[in-house]
Structure 1
Amino acid sequence: MHVLFLDQNKWIDLARVHAGKTTSGPHLIVYQELLAAVRTGKLIAPLTASHILETSKRNDPESRANVVEIQALLSKGFVFRSRKARLLIEMRNALHIAFGDEPEQPPANWTVVPGFMQAFEMFDTLVASPEDAATSRFMNQQVDPQKQYVDYMMNQDDGRRRAAHSAFAKESDQLLSRIEARRTIMEGSTMDLRWRAYAAKLFLDHQGFVAHMLDVVGHTVDEMKKLGGEAIVKFVREVPTLNVEAELAARLEVKTGPLKVNDIQDMHSFCTAIPCAGRLVAERGFISLARQAKLDNRYDVALSTELAELQGIYL
């Protein structure tokens, strides 16, 4: 089954068709073809945590319902696993490679799972507490994931919804400030040096994950240190989520003009989707950054900027 990632603006374009506001043209054709491909099991368009948060942020219930309904139809309530779960499995394989062991091959599309809650660490069955993992499994057994998503998005407590988005916005602003500060520090640096600096920071930020997975694969922190600094660089290269983030962040830093919170959200979505999807359809800016970094070649993913480019692909 083909896995398709659509950025939020593309979902909004499809929602206009779903609501009857767009009644002709390529968006209508693509809308019909995507629905048919999902119904026949050829395609799925999973959601990310960013999709869920962005859609939830829409204050107008009718507008939110239009987006939610088309997302539910094309995703069938499936999502990409949480960042932590993806990182731990990716790190396990990267450590096997670092020590010359045979990496374990996860099943195809292992990052695509049912139940919107699994996009978040707390309810991802790979990394949640036993109690929360049991809750997630129970929900997915008892309630169709597609219905779960629609029900939650249309009936969640409004005060809690607004509070969650306020906290998410604050976190995004803080990350944006850190990237802006690094832009000044790294001014004039080569792209390779920028990547290495950001990769080193990511490694330090995730030392706890690395130590845990070293124990899982039967090696120690001391053994990792003996491999040397270049082995750390290679390790980050072999962890797709971290490598994509470092490649995109390094290129964001050299962009002219101030960065926006949406840049951070797009970067998080690309870190999720590029290693896990067969095709991305997103705005030109980040598609250009991904192509500059040759991420499409590295992860064998097709990159598009327009929904119209999907015409005929899934027939």
Structure 2
Amino acid sequence: MARRQDLAFAWPAHLVRPQTGQRLVYLDLNHWIYLAKAATGHRTGEQYKPALSAVRDAAQSERYLFPLSLTHYMELSGIQDPRQRGDVADVMEEVSGFTTLLTRSHIMRLEIEAALDQVFNTASPHIADIDLLGWGISHAMGQRGLQIGLAPGGTSDEARARWPNGPEAFDLFLANTKRYVERSILRGPSDAEVPGLEARGWDPTVARTVAEERAEWERQLAERLDQEPQYWNRLRDVVQARYLSHEVIDILNQALFDRGRGIGDVITDKKSGSHFTESMPSAYVHISLVDAAHRNRDKPWESNDIFDVDALSIAVPYCDLVVTERHACHVVRTARLPQAMNTEVVPRLRDLTEWLNNQ
């Protein structure tokens, strides 16, 4: 489906993008795996070595950033082989430097506010600015930065002042410690560490379980569409309504309450509801991908599809280049989202290499 020409996206003013002019490049997990194969000399990795070299050069030039998302952490935790997780995590660390995109839920909140500003022709002074990019898993989860406990009742300033070899040695220790913790989170545990972690409540299946529940919800919609085929002609309307009622309704109600408004002040009919929902950039990408997935009736919904939709709904609007699988690339191109969002979306690492060479 092509993008409606009458749609004005509500870009969130409180989402602060980098002011350094660096270009943001998002790679889906499969393409990180291909780079890891090239880095480790895997028998199928030879073809990806030019891309790995180009990506390394681009990252070292500091003209490009290759951020990770929360989806990367969740998907990587699902890889059973610790060695493979470690190989992929090593490349991710080297190239991304643990730069991360803000969590999807926070971006959705800022987009809701921007969409309401557009409806009411107001500003949102009660909303604080939030950086699109940050460092580590904490930013990817929308939380405060990683805190390292140093001494009971002490502060980092006090520890820094007392540290052997001086404050600079303390700063180096703290930076190395934080990087070690981030590396450990991204790589996940070794087989020997798993029993102890499980005994303390660690469960690596939580993210995939939630994704599976959401995939089942989409399977139920597919079944209903088969039972009530009259809705096929209104599929996008159905997906829009489900997004509004299931994905963002709590955020929307809170934002309206903060403004002393109600849902009836925003959505008065089908057209206003459609315009409001699809004015949010991540919502438009989400709806386009879900709509297309339901139209592909030969492929059942899987948990990986949920990961892909969540990741792309943030990456496509807020990165300069997105490297994803072929079908998703086709969907977003058909919807003309690259032009609307000033983003390029490509399906191969070879395309990424060409893009970097042409910048």
TM-score (norm 2): 0.74
- The letter of the residue matching 1:306 is R
* 1:165 and 2:204 matched: yes
* 1:165 alignment partner, SS class: coil
| Unpaired stretches in structure 1, ≥5 consecutive residues | 126-132
Residue aligning to 1:75: 96
- The answer as to whether partners of 1:14 and 1:27 remain within 8 angstroms in 2 is yes
In the TM superposition, what is the alpha-carbon distance from 1:222 to its structure 2 partner? 5.7
**Within 1, Cα distance between the matches of 2:232 and 2:332?**
14
* 2:185 alignment partner, SS class: helix
* Pick aligned residue for 1:46 from 40, 52, 67: 67
* Pick aligned residue for 1:243 from 270, 276, 284: 284
**Within 1, Cα distance between the matches of 2:268 and 2:28?**
39
- The answer as to whether partners of 2:111 and 2:281 remain within 8 angstroms in 1 is yes
**Within 1, Cα distance between the matches of 2:302 and 2:264?**
41
1:116-159 C-alpha deviation (Å, 9 max, x unpaired): 22222xxx14xxxxxxx2x53779x9436654431323464525
In the TM superposition, what is the alpha-carbon distance from 1:108 to its structure 2 partner? 11
Residue aligning to 1:195: 236
Residue aligning to 1:130: none
Task: Rate the CA distance shift 1:289–1:146 in 2: closer, same or farther, 3 A.
Answer: farther
Residue aligning to 1:298: 340
- The answer as to whether partners of 1:80 and 1:111 remain within 8 angstroms in 2 is yes
**Within 2, Cα distance between the matches of 1:213 and 1:307?**
41
| Unpaired stretches in structure 2, ≥5 consecutive residues | 1-21, 150-170
Residue aligning to 1:151: 184
In the TM superposition, what is the alpha-carbon distance from 1:251 to its structure 2 partner? 1.1
- The answer as to whether partners of 1:77 and 1:147 remain within 8 angstroms in 2 is no
Task: Rate the CA distance shift 1:195–1:138 in 2: closer, same or farther, 3 A.
Answer: farther
Residue aligning to 1:186: 225
1:195-254 C-alpha deviation (Å, 9 max, x unpaired): 2212112222222211222344x3411662575443222111122222211111111111
* 1:267 and 2:306 matched: no
* 1:86 and 2:107 matched: yes
* 1:249 alignment partner, SS class: helix
1:23-172 aligned within 5 A: 27-101=48-122, 110-120=131-141, 124-125=142-143, 133=144, 136=146, 142-143=174-175, 147-154=180-187, 156=189, 158-159=194-195, 160=197, 164-172=203-211
- The answer as to whether partners of 2:102 and 2:133 remain within 8 angstroms in 1 is yes
- The answer as to whether partners of 1:65 and 1:154 remain within 8 angstroms in 2 is yes
**Within 2, Cα distance between the matches of 1:265 and 1:75?**
20
Residue aligning to 2:327: 285
- The answer as to whether partners of 1:183 and 1:254 remain within 8 angstroms in 2 is no
- The letter of the residue matching 1:285 is H
Between the aligned residues of both structures, percent identity stands at 16
Residue aligning to 2:39: 18
- The answer as to whether partners of 1:30 and 1:311 remain within 8 angstroms in 2 is yes
Task: Rate the CA distance shift 1:138–1:165 in 2: closer, same or farther, 3 A.
Answer: closer
